[in-house]
């Protein structure tokens, strides 16, 4: 691995993505990407007494599925890098407590999935690991409960609000393999655009996405056209428009090959999800389901995934703090 430019890293020995798995909830099942997911749940409890337990089960089953698909014995896996949105990352730690694999919990808000892939790639590239699991999850109901209002409260959601994706995605990264490969990454800086409206996360995170995107292009010398597709995590419809504008203001036109996982996940008109999907599970499931399959079928050959996160909690917003954003980028090629 070598550092290029200010904050990007090229992997001289690309890291293999051996397998991915994704499980999503009932609302995602009605969305346009449903056929790409490994499993769609019929109800948000999944037979568990609470949503938090259901989310842990999502993590557990998704990771088990990814391990099974990769054909690697779980005893040969060196690390598990995972995170979620619940306080103290309980969905991941409870979901993975029976795996017997060394566990490193991560938190990057909704950017956790790519963050975990960056950390896992670094570990594998540095010869500290041969095989590693990356995982991230979110659950609409547990997120609403923790960050917003009770589900049964009769309130209206403003048009800029987003819908937390119920789902978990995981990927097994290995040193050797036949691809797709992680070839470079750009960890992002914390960028605060001064947005305070917790119902407009897309606008709060778009600045961070732009910063990471532009840094990636500057550092690597690549242009937007280098990639077949560029995906952001969960900027939603509003954030996506803003990012296109911000990038063009810096001289990068990404209009042609750019989309957002939150935009892809739901049908805005039919499903009434306002500005689109959000949450750790959004990019995790869209990557593990849709993008990975496109790479395997060679419909995409070079993809840039930029996971975006809003680094806040309900206390910080009650105290009147603005919402800092973060975005991590990773390039995947076949």
Partner 1 sequence: MKPIQSKEEYQTYVDQKTPNSPIIKNCFNAFWVGGLICALGQIIFYFCQMRGMDETNSYTVVSMLLVFASAFLTALNIFNKIGKFAGAGSLIPITGFANSIVSPAMEYKSEGYVMGVGAKMFTVAGPVLVYGISTSILVGLIYILFNTQSLILV
Partner 2 sequence: MDWFMIFKAFIVGGIICIIGQVLIDKTKLTPARILVTYVTLGAILGGLGWYKYLIDFAGCGATVPLTGFGNLLAKGAITEVESNGFIGAFTGGIKAAAGGIAAAIFFGYIASLVSKPKIKKQ
Contacting positions for partner 2 (CB under 8 A): 25-27, 44-45, 140-141, 149-153, 155-156, 158, 197, 199, 272
Site string for partner 1, 196-215 (x = CB under 8 A): ----x--x---x--------
Q: How far apart are CA 56 and CA 46, in angstroms?
A: 11
Element holding 213 (H helix, E strand): helix 201-220
Cα–Cα distance, 317 to 141 (Å, whole number): 20
Question: How is residue 314 written in tokens?
Answer: 């309900």
Q: Which of partner 2, partner 1, none does residue 245 bind to, with CB < 5 to 8 Å depending on kind? A: partner 1
The verdict on 154 binding partner 1 (CB under 8 A) reads yes
CB of 203 to partner 1, least distance (A): 4
- Establish if 256 lies at the interface with partner 1 (CB under 8 A): no
**Residue 177 dihedral angles phi and psi, to the nearest 5°:** 160, 180
- DSSP output for 95-146: HTTTS-S-EEE--BTBTHHHHHHHHHHHHHHTTS-SEEEEEEEE-HHHHHHH
* 101 touches 133 (CB < 8 A): yes
**Residue 149 and residue 155: Cα distance in Å, rounded?**
9
Output the smallest distance, CB 56 to partner 2, in A: 18
Q: Which of partner 1, partner 2, none does residue 193 bind (CB under 5 to 8 Å by kind)? A: partner 1
Three-state secondary-structure class, residue 81: strand
Cβ proximity to partner 2: between 128 and 149 the closer is 149
Binding to partner 1 by residue 193, rule CB under 8 A?
Answer: yes
Question: Beta strand 8-24 with 79-84: parallel, antiparallel or unpaired?
Answer: unpaired
Whole-number minimum distance, CB 188 to partner 1, in Å? 18
> Which entry of partner 2, partner 1, none binds 26, CB below 5 to 8 A by partner kind?
partner 2
Are the C-beta atoms of residues 289 and 32 closer than 8 Å to each other?
Answer: no
| Residue with tokens 């393999």, as numbered in its chain | 177
> Within a 10 A sphere around the Cβ of 107, how many other Cβ atoms?
16
Stretch that binds partner 1, among 27-35, 181-189, 194-202, 300-308 (CB under 8 A): 194-202
Q: Does 120 bind partner 1 (CB under 8 A)?
A: no
Q: Does 47 bind partner 1 (CB under 8 A)?
A: no
Q: Which is nearer to partner 2, 197 or 228 (CB)?
A: 197
**Rounded least distance, CB 18 to partner 2, Å:** 34
Binding residue for partner 1, selected from 159, 176, 190, 298, defined by CB under 8 A: 159
CA distance 19 to 170: 8
- The residues of the shown chain that bind partner 1, judged by CB under 8 A, are 49-52, 145, 149-160, 193-195, 200, 203, 207, 238, 241-242, 245-246, 248-250
């Amino acid at each position: 691995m070598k550092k290029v430019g200010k904050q990007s890293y090229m992997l001289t020995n690309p890291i293999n993505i051996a397998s991915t798995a994704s499980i999503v909830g009932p609302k995602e099942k009605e969305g346009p990407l449903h056929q790409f997911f490994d499993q769609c749940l019929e109800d948000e409890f999944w037979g568990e007494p609470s949503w938090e337990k259901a989310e842990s089960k999502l993590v557990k089953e998704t990771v088990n599925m990814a391990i099974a698909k990769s054909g690697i014995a779980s005893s040969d896996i060196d690390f598990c890098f995972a995170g979620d949105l619940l306080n103290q990352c309980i969905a991941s730690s409870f979901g993975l407590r029976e795996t017997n694999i060394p566990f490193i919990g991560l938190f990057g808000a909704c950017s956790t999935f790519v963050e975990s892939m960056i950390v896992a790639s670094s570990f594998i590239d540095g010869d500290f690991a041969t095989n590693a699991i990356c995982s991230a999850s979110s659950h609409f109901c547990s997120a609403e409960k923790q960050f917003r209002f009770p589900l049964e409260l009769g309130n209206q959601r403003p048009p800029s609000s987003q819908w937390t994706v119920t789902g978990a995605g995981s990927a097994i990264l290995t040193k050797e393999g036949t691809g797709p490969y992680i070839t470079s990454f750009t960890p992002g800086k914390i960028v605060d655009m001064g947005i305070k409206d917790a119902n407009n996360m897309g606008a709060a995170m778009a600045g961070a996405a732009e910063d990471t995107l532009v840094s990636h292009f500057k550092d690597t010398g690549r242009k937007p056209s280098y990639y077949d597709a560029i995906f952001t995590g969960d900027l939603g419809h509003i954030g996506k428009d803003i990012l296109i504008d911000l990038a063009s203001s810096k001289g990068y036109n990404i209009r042609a090959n750019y989309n957002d996982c939150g935009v892809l996940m739901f049908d805005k008109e039919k499903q009434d999800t306002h500005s689109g999907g959000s949450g750790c599970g959004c990019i995790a499931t869209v990557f593990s389901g849709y993008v990975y399959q496109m790479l395997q079928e060679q419909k995409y050959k070079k993809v840039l995934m930029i996971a975006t996160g809003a680094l806040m909690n309900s206390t910080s917003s009650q105290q009147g703090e603005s919402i800092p954003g973060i975005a991590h980028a990773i390039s995947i090629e076949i």
